[in-house]
């Protein structure tokens, strides 16, 4: 296994996986995936924030 680069640890929180079962049970919440909107928001975020990552 290759070690995580030390210079990246400052800006990367690593992997995170949320568990939404409690919200689904208690609130009746359901996610509504819209991949096109999610990709658009991601691209907009990185266009604005990219200088902080370089």
Determine, yes or no, domain membership for 26.
Answer: yes
Q: How far apart are CA 12 and CA 4, in angstroms?
A: 10
Determine, yes or no, domain membership for 49.
Answer: yes
Determine, yes or no, domain membership for 19.
Answer: yes
Range of the domain at 40: 8-53
Determine, yes or no, domain membership for 21.
Answer: yes
| Helix spans in the chain (H) | 6-9, 21-27, 35-53
Tally of domains in the chain? 1
Determine, yes or no, domain membership for 2.
Answer: no
Determine, yes or no, domain membership for 20.
Answer: yes
The whole-number pLDDT of residue 19 equals 86
Q: How far apart are CA 54 and CA 52, in angstroms?
A: 6
Determine, yes or no, domain membership for 3.
Answer: no
Residues of the chain with pLDDT under 50: none
Full-model pTM: 0.39
């Amino acid at each position: 296994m290759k070690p995580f680069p030390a210079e990246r640890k400052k800006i990367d929180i690593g992997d995170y996986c949320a568990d939404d079962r409690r919200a689904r049970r208690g609130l009746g919440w359901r996610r509504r995936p819209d991949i096109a909107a999610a990709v658009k928001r991601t691209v907009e975020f990185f266009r604005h924030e990219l200088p902080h990552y370089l």
